[in-house]
Structure 1
Amino acid sequence: MFELVCEVEPPTRPDLKKVRHQIGVMSPIADAFLIPDNHIGRATVSSVAVANEVQAMGARGIACLNSRDRNLLGFRRDLLTAAAYGVEQFLFVHGDEPSAGGRTSQLTVRTMIEQARATSFPGISPFKVGAASRLRPVPGWKAEADFLYLQVSYDLEELLRWRDSVTLDIPVYAGVMVLASAKMAHNLAALPQLTIPDHLVAAVEQDRDAGVEAACNHILAIRDSGAFDGVHLIPVSRYRQVAARLEHEL
């Protein structure tokens, strides 16, 4: 079964209306929702709390936790809170380096996975934990996670080459991000770890909806390749347009 996991924008204020709206709009196309964790370097409502909100609306929530902002006690608090809410799935990531000051963490993604695996509560199912990977060889400890999320790529052939180069017995989700504007396209194109085709940047400069169309076509091509178990979609502000485009395609 091919799954579409849609990322939502967590609130930076104590108001969940926008999150609820995103969930409602994308529910017809989404198999689950991923909630980032302070991903833009600003404090957001807890990803565990938002995952609980997702589940209260009848969908499956996956809480992302980054090692950057946590010590061991704080991480154990997150696991306890998740168990109380019934949130069972996590994506553990390293987290971007802070723009000022050092990392607060005594944790790594690997130790977070080990800690989650070692944590159990009576009458509650074990946590399912995933990790993220760039398009490079996957270390053994990541291959033993419950699922793997790949970095964003705009090149299907690049994704297929990577998939052919690794042997994994866990679900793998390709990353797809909508280019919402020409400014966003240029900013992302400047990142050394991400390659965006020049023709796509030019298309978004001419037509803002070109980013939506390209992302939707990319998702369908990944599905049709049969090489991946699903897609991790980052629709940013264009979630309404993406949902409308994909509702009758998936």
Structure 2
Amino acid sequence: MPERRFELICEIEPPTRPDLTRVRHQIGVMSPVADSFLIPDNHIGRATVSSVAVAHEVQAMGAAGIACLNSRDRNLLGFRRDLLTAAAYGVDRFLFVYGDKPTAGGRTSELTVRAMIEQARDTGEDPAFEGCSPFQVGVTSGLRPLPAWKQQADFVFAQVSYSMENLLRWRDSINTDAPVYAGVMVVASVAMARNLAAAIPDIAIPGDLVTAVEQDRDAGVTAACEQILAIRDSGAFDGVHLVPVSRYRQVAARLEQHL
């Protein structure tokens, strides 16, 4: 089997208003270093422009897009609508997730990520999708054992981690032929570090990194870029899922020198 090329998948900050100017700017800035772009779905529990529509915009700009869809906000009919829309737009790569806790209201869906995968696979035998490219579907995983049904996904995004040791230990523990991408997130501020640690206790942010960011805003950019290069050089992963947050300009400039 030929060796896979190391990929950088950059997450876009999705628009919360009907304006794609910032999305286009992120794509333009990151395109020299990014192989594809992930578009979140109702990011951190807030309504955003459809990830399928933004993925279509990404592709219209000549880049590759992955539309994230969460199971929290849709029922089976709504999910089928999204698949039909994606097929019409030529969007065929998805990341299926449970979804962040909403800022208002609660979970309304009977769907699960596993059910979404099954539905997407079933479109291969559905006359309504005849002539369309088969969907590629990915899943996320914490740094814990990967369930058998997730091992059948087309790709896996690992949880953000600031520890190479933990990432490598987890990668050695799972058995899948699918591409696996390690999560890397830029710590943009001390407040962000505290909020992230409170929202996702599994993510341990080193105290020395928080101190460094407090003293120098670019310290988080430096640490993220060093982590990306360390992951690449380890040979254990097929790429990274990078979350640059608002620091995408600085990250792109730094990575252009090394990738």
TM-score (norm 2): 0.95
Q: 2:16 aligns with which of 12, 25, 28?
A: 12
Instruction: Name the counterpart of 1:216.
Output: 225
Q: Which residue of 2 aligns with 1:206?
A: 215
**2:156 counterpart of 1:148:** yes
Aligned to 2:45: 41
Equivalent pair of 1:182/1:208 in contact (CA under 8 Å): no
1:244 has 2:253 as partner: yes
Q: Answer whether contact 1:89 1:128 (CA < 8 A) is retained.
A: yes
Given residue 207 of structure 1, which amino acid in structure 2 is its aligned partner? D
Paired residues in the alignment total 250
State the 1:97 CA deviation. 2.7
Which of residues 182, 187, 191 in structure 2 aligns to 1:179? 187
Structure 1 length normalisation: TM-score? 0.98
5+ residue gaps in structure 2? none
* Amino acid across the alignment from 2:197: A
Q: Is the 8 A contact 1:65 1:92 kept in 2?
A: yes
CA–CA separation in structure 2 for the residues paired with 1:124 and 1:130: 19
Distance 1:181 1:100 in 2: 26
Which consecutive unaligned segments of at least 5 residues does structure 1 have?
A: none
How far apart are residue 188 of structure 1 and its match?
1.8
Instruction: Let me know the Cα RMSD of the aligned residues.
Output: 0.9
Amino acid aligned to 1:18:
R
Asked if 1 retains the 8 angstrom alpha-carbon contact of 2:14 and 2:43, the reply is no
Identity %: 78
> 2:201: which partner in 1?
192
Equivalent positions of 1:31-180 (< 5 A) are 31-120=35-124, 121-180=129-188
Q: In 1, are the aligned partners of 2:98 and 2:113 still within 8 Å (CA)?
A: yes
| 2:42 partner SS | coil
1:26 CA displacement: 0.1
How many angstroms does 1:99 deviate by? Answer: 4.5
Taking the aligned partners of 1:205 and 1:192, their CA distance within structure 2 comes to 21
Paired residues of 2:92 and 2:134 also in contact (CA < 8 A): yes
Question: Contact 1:223 / 1:230 at 8 angstroms: preserved in 2?
Answer: yes
Q: Does the 8 A contact of 1:185 with 1:204 survive in 2?
A: no
List structure 1 segments (4+ residues) > 4 angstroms apart after TM superposition: none
- Structure 2 CA distance, aligned partners of 1:229 and 1:13? 34
Of stretches 95-104 and 110-119 in structure 1, the one that deviates more from structure 2 is: 95-104
Equivalent of 1:28, from 26, 29, 32? 32
